[in-house]
Amino acid sequence: MKPVYVKRHVRHVRGETVPTISRYLRRDPLEVTPRSMTYTEAARRTGGGTRNLWIKRENGENSNRVLLVQFSSKLLSSAAFESPEAKRYYDSVYENVPGYERAEDFWEVPTWMAHMAGAFRNSDVYVVRNVDEARHFLNEAGYGGVFFSALDANKDLIKGLAQNYGGRVFVGGYVRRQEFDDQPNVTWFDTIGEAAGAFGVEPGEGPDYRHFEGTAVIPRLCMSTGCAYDCAFCTVEKQVKTMPKDEIDRNVKAILANLEGDLVYLNDKTFGQAPNYTYLRELNQRIKAARPSFKGFIVQTTATQFLKMPDDFLRDSGIRIVEIGVESYNDDILKSIRKPHRVTHIDQAVARLRTLGIKFVPNIIIGLPGETKESYERTLKFLRNNEDIISHVNVYALALYDQARLKDEMGLENLNAADVNENVIRKSFQKDPELHEWFANEVYQFGTQQAERWS
Ligand SMILES: C[S@@+](CC[C@H](N)C(=O)[O-])C[C@H]1O[C@@H](n2cnc3c(N)ncnc32)[C@H](O)[C@@H]1O
Ligand code: SF4
C-alpha cells in the first residue's frame, strides 16, 4: 500500500510558517473502521467525527467486491441548515417527538443501498464525511465497482470523486443521466436490475439492511408510487402504481430483520390513492406482533384524500401521525398552485383527526407565489389554532425544479442551486426575501414549541 502524506504546517526558525509534507503524519485511508462493525457501531465509535466510515463485514478481495458510497448528510447540509432556528427546530423534533430517530449520518437509511445490498451479496458501504480522504481511499481500496445514487445536492461531489478515480464508477438516481456523459469511467444505470445485470448477479428479492443492522431510524415502507394530483410545484410521477403484496411483505420483513425504530413511515406520496391502502391494517397487526414497542405509522396525504378514508379503517390501521400538504392556509394560493384541497377540506380533516386521536403534521411551503404578510399571518393563525393536535411541522422552502410547471408559469430561467433546494429559504427569484425569512422563523419557532410539548 502506498503511504499517504498529509500536509502539515511547520514553523521555521525565523518564525515564518511554510507548508510542507510530513512523512510522519501518515494516515492510512484503508484503516477507516475496524472490521466487522455495523454502520451503527462505527458511527457511535466515531460520533460526529470527520473520518469516513468503511463498513466491510465480510472478508474478500476488494477487486471482487462492490462499494456503495453515500455522503453524510452533515457534509451536504451544512449550508442548508445554517439558520440557527432551523437547526434548533430539527434537533428538538428528534429529541422530543416519541419514535423520531435519526442516524449519525442520515435522516433515514438510504433505501438504494438496501436494494443494492439485496442484489449484491459482495457489497460494502462507505460513508463520506471527508471528501479528500474518500479520494485516497477509493484509489487505494481498488474495488471492482463503486456505486453512487445521484441527487442535485451531491452530483458535483460524485463528479469530483469520479474524476480522480482510476476505477469504474456506476451512478443511478434522480438527476439527468447526461450529467455524467463527459466522464468516461462513469456508467449510468436506470434500475438496480440493470446494475445487477452489468455484474452478472441476480437483481435480488428486495431490500437488505444488513449493513445497517441495529440502526434506530424511522424505516420507510412503500405500498404505492406516484400521485394522481397535479400540484404546480411537484415533480412526483403522475401515474399511481400499486406494489404487489409479496413485495410489501418482503420490505416489512427486511425492516424488522435489521432496523430499530418504533415508527414506520409510509413513502406513498398521497396515501389512500392506491386501492391497496387498507392492507395497512394487516401490516399493523404483523409489525405489532413482531415488535411490541411499535407505535404506528406516519402517512402523508392531502386533506381531500384523507376525508375519503373510512373511520373504521383509520381506527385500526395503526396510523399515528398524518402529514397533510397544507402548504398555505389561503384558498387563492392553493388554487393558483392547483392543490386539490381548500381550507374548508383542511378544517374538516383536522376536525376528524382530532376526533380520532391521530396527531397532525402540516407541511408548510415557504415562498409560494402570492404570499404576503397577511397570507402568512393566516397560515400562522391556523397553526396556532390547532396546536392541540399538531405534533410538529414539515417546513419546505419552495424549490423550482426543472421539471416543475410552476417554474415556467413564473417565467423563470437561470436558477441557482439554492433555488432547487427545499432546505434553503432565500431564493434568487424572491422579491421580498426578508418576508419569507420572517415567516420561516415563525414556523420554526412554532414547530420547536410544539415538539417541546412532547417532553
Ligand atoms: C408527497 S407531498 C405530501 C402529501 C400530499 N401528497 C400532499 O401534497 O398534500 C410532499 C410535500 O413536499 C413538499 N414539496 C413537494 N415538492 C416541493 C417543492 N418543489 N418545493 C417545496 N416543497 C415541496 C410539499 O410540502 C408537499 O406537501
Ligand atoms: S398532492 Fe402531493 S404528491 Fe400529489 S402532486 Fe400534490 S404535492 Fe405532489
Same domain, 40 and 26: no
Same domain, 225 and 183: no
pLDDT at 19 over 50: no
From start to end of 133-274, where are the E strands? 145-150, 169-173, 186-188, 220-221, 224-225, 241-242, 263-266
Pick the closest to residue 395 from 38, 140, 87 (CA basis): 87
Give the position, in ligand 2's atom list, of the atom nearest the Cα of 302: 1
Number of domains in the chain: 3
Pocket test of ligand 2: the residue of 270, 327, 328, 396 to mutate, having most ligand atoms within 8 Å of its CB, is 270
| CA gap 439, 373 in Å, rounded | 8
* pLDDT tens column, 313-369: 999 999 999 999 999 999 999 999 999 999 999 999 999 999 999 999 999 999 999
> How sure is the predictor about 421, in pLDDT bands with cuts at 50, 70 and 90?
confident
Distance in angstroms between the alpha carbons of the first and the last residue of the chain: 52
Same domain, 188 and 244: no
User: Does the Cβ of 395 fall within 6 Å of ligand 1?
Assistant: no
Domain for residue 98, yes or no?
no
Question: What is the average per-residue pLDDT within 247-256?
Answer: 96
User: Does the Cβ of 302 fall within 6 Å of ligand 1?
Assistant: yes
Indicate the average pLDDT of the chain.
Answer: 90
What is the predicted pLDDT for the residue at 73?
Answer: 87
Q: What is the CATH number of the domain that holds 272?
A: 3.20.20.70
Ligand nearest to the CA of 267: 1
Same domain, 26 and 36: no
CA–centroid distance, residue 101 to ligand 2 (Å): 26
Domain for residue 84, yes or no?
no
Ligand nearest to the CA of 365: 1
* pLDDT tens column, 113-126: 999 999 999 999 99
Domain for residue 99, yes or no?
no
User: Does the Cβ of 363 fall within 6 Å of ligand 1?
Assistant: yes
Phi, psi of 400 (to 5 degrees): -100, 85
CA–centroid distance, residue 240 to ligand 1 (Å): 16
User: Does the Cβ of 270 fall within 6 Å of ligand 2?
Assistant: yes
Phi, psi of 264 (to 5 degrees): -125, 130
Same domain, 348 and 385: yes
Measured by CA distance, the residue closest to atom 26 of ligand 1 is 325
DSSP states of 125-149: EEEES-HHHHHHHHHHH--SEEEEE
pLDDT at 224 over 80: yes
pLDDT at 47 over 80: no
Q: Sign of torsion, CA 82 148 218 56? A: negative
Measured by CA distance, the residue closest to atom 27 of ligand 1 is 325
> How sure is the predictor about 84, in pLDDT bands with cuts at 50, 70 and 90?
confident
pLDDT at 32 over 80: no
What is the predicted pLDDT for the residue at 24?
Answer: 30
Same domain, 166 and 236: no
User: Does the Cβ of 152 fall within 6 Å of ligand 1?
Assistant: no
What is the predicted pLDDT for the residue at 175?
Answer: 83
What pTM, to 2 d.p., does this model score? 0.89
- Residue 16's Cβ-count burial label (10 Å; 0-12, 13-18, 19+) is exposed
What's at 124, amino acid-wise? D
User: Does the Cβ of 327 fall within 6 Å of ligand 1?
Assistant: yes
Domain for residue 203, yes or no?
no
pLDDT at 11 over 70: no
What's at 198, amino acid-wise? A
Same domain, 111 and 150: yes
Domain for residue 79, yes or no?
no
Same domain, 178 and 267: no
Ligand nearest to the CA of 399: 1
Pocket test of ligand 1: the residue of 300, 408, 426 to mutate, having most ligand atoms within 8 Å of its CB, is 300
What is the predicted pLDDT for the residue at 29?
Answer: 57
Domain for residue 95, yes or no?
no
Torsion of CA 306, 310, 312, 314, to 10 degrees: -10
pLDDT at 144 over 60: yes
Same domain, 25 and 36: no
Pocket test of ligand 1: the residue of 230, 271, 301, 363 to mutate, having most ligand atoms within 8 Å of its CB, is 363
| CA gap 438, 152 in Å, rounded | 27
pLDDT at 33 over 70: no
User: Does the Cβ of 120 fall within 6 Å of ligand 2?
Assistant: no
Which domain-ending residue is among 198, 231, 246? 198
Same domain, 224 and 171: no
What interhelical angle do 433-453 and 373-385 show, nearest 10? 10
Q: Do 365 and 329 contact (CB within 8 A), yes or no? A: no
Highest mean pLDDT among 49-58, 146-155, 337-346, 422-431: 337-346
User: Does the Cβ of 141 fall within 6 Å of ligand 2?
Assistant: no
Same domain, 226 and 368: yes
Measured by CA distance, the residue closest to atom 16 of ligand 1 is 234
User: Does the Cβ of 365 fall within 6 Å of ligand 2?
Assistant: no
Question: What is the average per-residue pLDDT within 382-411?
Answer: 95
Highest mean pLDDT among 47-56, 67-76, 360-369, 411-420: 360-369
> How sure is the predictor about 15, in pLDDT bands with cuts at 50, 70 and 90?
very low
Question: What is the average per-residue pLDDT within 298-317?
Answer: 97
Ligand nearest to the CA of 338: 2
Ligand nearest to the CA of 240: 2
Domain for residue 260, yes or no?
yes
> How sure is the predictor about 152, in pLDDT bands with cuts at 50, 70 and 90?
confident
> How sure is the predictor about 13, in pLDDT bands with cuts at 50, 70 and 90?
very low
pLDDT at 111 over 50: yes
Polymer length in residues for the chain = 455
For residue 19, what are the domain limits? 1-30
Q: What is the CATH number of the domain that holds 135?
A: 3.40.50.280
Question: What is the average per-residue pLDDT within 273-295?
Answer: 97
pLDDT at 373 over 50: yes
Question: What is the average per-residue pLDDT within 60-64?
Answer: 93
What is the predicted pLDDT for the residue at 431?
Answer: 95
> How sure is the predictor about 82, in pLDDT bands with cuts at 50, 70 and 90?
low
Pick the closest to residue 430 from 450, 408, 412 (CA basis): 412
What is the predicted pLDDT for the residue at 57?
Answer: 87
Question: What is the average per-residue pLDDT within 170-187?
Answer: 92
* Percentage above 70 pLDDT, the chain: 91
| CA gap 321, 297 in Å, rounded | 7
Same domain, 243 and 270: yes
Question: What is the average per-residue pLDDT within 225-246?
Answer: 97
Of 389 and 203, more confident:
389
Question: What is the average per-residue pLDDT within 151-161?
Answer: 90
CA–centroid distance, residue 325 to ligand 2 (Å): 8
Question: What is the average per-residue pLDDT within 258-262?
Answer: 95
Question: What is the average per-residue pLDDT within 360-379?
Answer: 98
| Three-state DSSP string of 223-253 | CEECCCCCCCCCCCCCCCEECCHHHHHHHHH
Residues 6 or more apart whose CB falls under 8 angstroms from that of 254 comprise 114, 118, 206, 207, 208, 209
pLDDT at 25 over 70: no
Give the position, in ligand 2's atom list, of the atom nearest the Cα of 230: 5
Question: What is the average per-residue pLDDT within 76-101?
Answer: 84
Domain for residue 80, yes or no?
no
